[in-house]
Structure 1
Amino acid sequence: MKIVILDGATAKGKELNFDFLNRFGDVTYYDTTSKEDVLPRAKDADILVINKIVMDKDTLAECKNLKLITILATGYNIVDIEAAKTLGITVCNVPYYSTNSVAQLTFAFILEFACKLSLHTQSVARGDWQNCKDFAYTLDTLHELCGKTLGIIGYGSIGKKVAQIGKAFGMNVLISTRTPVEGCVSKEEVFKNADFVTLHCPLNEQSKLMINEKSLALFKPTAYLINTARGGLVDENALADALNSGKIAGAALDVLTSEPPEADNPLIHAENCIITPHIGWASLEARVRLLHATEDNVRAFLQNSPINKVN
C-alpha cells in the first residue's frame, strides 16, 4: 500500500510526525508540494493525505491506483467530490478537531479589542510607564464584555462553543443560522445590533461575500468584525474601506480570500485590522487530534468500514 503525504508541514509542525502511518504501508512524505509536482508525486499512490492541495477531476483521473484521500482538515472543497465518487475514490475529512482552538482564538481577538493589550504592552516597552507621573494610565477606552452583544453567524460546533464562552462572560448572544434554532434572528439583525460580529459559517454560494458594502453599512460604528471561518465570506475591498473610513471600529481576521495573501491585499495595512496567518486550527492539542483522526480514517478504510466519509 503506497501512502503519499503531499503537504504535511503545517499539521506536523515542529512537535509531531506521521510515523504512525508506517504500519499501514510504504509512506512518502513531503512538507509541501507545488501545483506542478502534484501529479508526479500522487499518480502512483493508493492513499493520499492532503491539507490544501487541490485535487481536481483531471488530476484524479490520472491517479489510477488511488483509493482513498484523507484530508487534514474539516473543509473538503479542495477535492472534486463528485469526480472522486465516480472514480471510486473514498474521500474522508476530520470534523470537530479544532472547535476549542478556533473558539479560543475568536475570544483572543475580542479580548484584544476590549482590553487593548498590545497597545499597552508596547507602551510599557517604550518606557511610558516608567516615566508616568501616576501609578496607572490608559491610552484608549477599555471595555467590559459583560452586557455587550455578541452576534454569531453560523451555529455549528464552533458557533455553539463561541456562544457558550460569550454567555460565560455575561454577553448577550444573537445567533443567525441557515438551520433555524430557537431564538435565532436574521443576519441583518445581527449586523445591526451586535457589538462583535463573528463568522462561523461555511463558504458556499449563499454565504460568499456576505460581508460587503451593503452589510457593513448596517454595522454600528462601534462594532467589530471577527472572521475565523473562510476568507471568501468577506469582500476585502469593502471591509478595508469601512475600516479606513471609520464606519466600523475594527476587524480581526485569521483567514483571507487568498492564502498566502498578495502583497497588495487592502487589509494588510487597513486601520485597526488584526490579521493572523490562519492559526485558529493550529494549537498542538488540535493537531494531535487531527493526526489521531487521520490514523483512524486510514485504519477504518483498510478495514472496509470507512469513517468521516464525505462522498
Structure 2
Amino acid sequence: MITIVCPERDAVGAQFRAPAIEHRWIEHPATTQAELVARLAGAQVAIINKLKLGAAEIAALPELRMIAVAATGADNIDLAACRERGIVVSNVRGYAVDTVPEHAMMLILALRRRLLDYVADVRAGRWARSENFCFFDHPIGDLAGATLGVVGRGGLGQGVARLGEAFGMRVLFAEHRGATTVREGYAAFEQVLAEADVISLHCPLKDNTRGLIGAAELARMKPTAILVNTSRGGLVDEVALAEALRAGLIAGAATDVLSTEPPRDGNPLLDADLPNLIVTPHVAWASAQAMQRLADQVIDNIEAFAAGAPRNRLA
C-alpha cells in the first residue's frame, strides 16, 4: 500500500485519475509551507506543484520515496538532497507545448499592436470623439519581417519559434550567455539582444540563468523591442525592467511570471504607472487541455515508479 499525498490539489484545474496500484490517496485543497511537513508525514509519494521541498523538509520525511512534480520546472525541489536520500523525482514534460507558445504569441501580438491601449481608448470614448474614422496614437508594428529572439530551445521555445515563423518572423535562438563558442543554429546571446524586435524567454531558472535579463541586457536591446517572459520570474531583474520601461529603453514587456507568486507583498512590475506592460497571473500553462495532460502524466509517473521503472526522472 502506497500513501500518496497531494498537498496543493487546487493548483491543478483537472481531475487526477485513480492510480492503477494499491494506494491510499490524501489530498488538501491548499497547504502553507509551514504545514507541509506535517501533511506529508507518512507519505511515500508526494505530488508537489509550487511548495518548497528543501533539504530540511526532506530530512524530516524519512518515509518519502518519490516526489511527483506537477510541473516541468523543479527549482522548488532540492534535487541534490533527493539524490542523497535515493528519492525519485519525476516531472511532467511536453504537456504545455501548445498552451504556453499560444499565450506567448498572444502577449507578443497584444504588445506589438498596442491592443490594451486601443481598447482603453475606445472604452474612454476617444473613438466616438475622433475627428477621423480612426486614430493612430499608439504605433503598431507587424510581426511579419520582425526578428524574434528565443532564449531556450526546448519544446516551448521551439513552439514559439514555429508560431513566429508562421507570422513571417525571422527567428534567432540565443546561445548561452557568456558562451565562448556559438553552436550551429544559434546566435550569440549579445547578438540576439541587439537584433531582436521581440525576445521571448523559455529557459529554466538555475544559478546561471537567474537575473539573465538585467539592466545591462535591457540597455543592449532596441528601443523598439519588447520582452516576453512565460518561463520563470527570476530570469528577469524586475526592478531593472520597471526602470527600463519608465525610461523608454525598450518599447514594452509582458510577463506571466513573477519572482514571488502570488505577489502578496507587491512587486515592481505591478506599479500602475508602467507603460506598455502586461502582467498575467502565471496562466500560460493553464489551458484545460494542458492541465488534463499534466494530471494524467503525474499519475503515469507514479504508476511507473510503483512498477520499478521510474520515468521523467530529475533525480
What's the TM-score once normalised by structure 1's chain length? 0.93
Aligned to 1:300: 304
* CA–CA distance in structure 2, aligned partners of residues 309 and 205 of structure 1: 20
Q: Does 1:7 align with 2:8?
A: yes
Cα distance, 1:203 vs structure 2: 1.6
Contact 1:7 1:31 in 2 (8 A): yes
Relative to 1, partners in 2 of residues 1:255 and 1:24: Cα closer, same or farther, differing over 3 Å?
farther
Contact 1:174 1:190 in 2 (8 A): yes
Relative to 1, partners in 2 of residues 1:138 and 1:10: Cα closer, same or farther, differing over 3 Å?
farther
Contact 1:21 1:27 in 2 (8 A): no
Q: 1:188 aligns with which of 164, 187, 190?
A: 190
Counterpart amino acid of residue 311 in structure 2: I
Cα deviation code 1:66-102 (max 9, x no counterpart): 2211000001122221222222221110012112111
Cα distance, 1:22 vs structure 2: 8.1
Q: Does 1:279 align with 2:280?
A: no
Matches within 5 A, 1:34-49: 34-49=32-47
Contact 2:15 2:292 in 1 (8 A): no
Cα deviation code 1:274-301 (max 9, x no counterpart): 1111111111111011011011111111
Contact 1:74 1:93 in 2 (8 A): yes
Q: 2:214 aligns with which of 197, 212, 220?
A: 212
Aligned to 2:49: 51
* CA–CA distance in structure 1, aligned partners of residues 79 and 139 of structure 2: 49
* CA–CA distance in structure 2, aligned partners of residues 232 and 131 of structure 1: 43
What's the TM-score once normalised by structure 2's chain length? 0.92
Q: Which moved more, 1:52-61 or 1:160-169?
A: 52-61
Counterpart amino acid of residue 279 in structure 2: I
Q: Which has the higher contact order (CA 8 A, sep 6+)?
A: 2
Q: RMSD across aligned C-alpha pairs, in angstroms?
A: 1.8
Q: 1:62 aligns with which of 60, 63, 72?
A: 60
* CA–CA distance in structure 2, aligned partners of residues 236 and 271 of structure 1: 14
Residue 199 of structure 2 aligns to a residue whose secondary structure is strand
Contact 1:119 1:139 in 2 (8 A): no
Contact 1:155 1:177 in 2 (8 A): no
Cα distance, 1:129 vs structure 2: 3.6
Residue 92 of structure 2 aligns to a residue whose secondary structure is coil
Relative to 1, partners in 2 of residues 1:181 and 1:97: Cα closer, same or farther, differing over 3 Å?
farther
* CA–CA distance in structure 1, aligned partners of residues 72 and 22 of structure 2: 23
Contact 2:66 2:89 in 1 (8 A): yes
* CA–CA distance in structure 2, aligned partners of residues 291 and 258 of structure 1: 24
Counterpart amino acid of residue 7 in structure 2: L
Residue 113 of structure 1 aligns to a residue whose secondary structure is helix
Residue 191 of structure 1 aligns to a residue whose secondary structure is helix
* CA–CA distance in structure 2, aligned partners of residues 224 and 109 of structure 1: 10
* CA–CA distance in structure 2, aligned partners of residues 143 and 277 of structure 1: 26
Matches within 5 A, 1:149-168: 149-168=147-166
* CA–CA distance in structure 1, aligned partners of residues 9 and 36 of structure 2: 13
Q: 2:268 aligns with which of 266, 275, 278?
A: 266
Gaps of 5+ in 1: none
Gaps of 5+ in 2: none
* CA–CA distance in structure 2, aligned partners of residues 283 and 73 of structure 1: 14
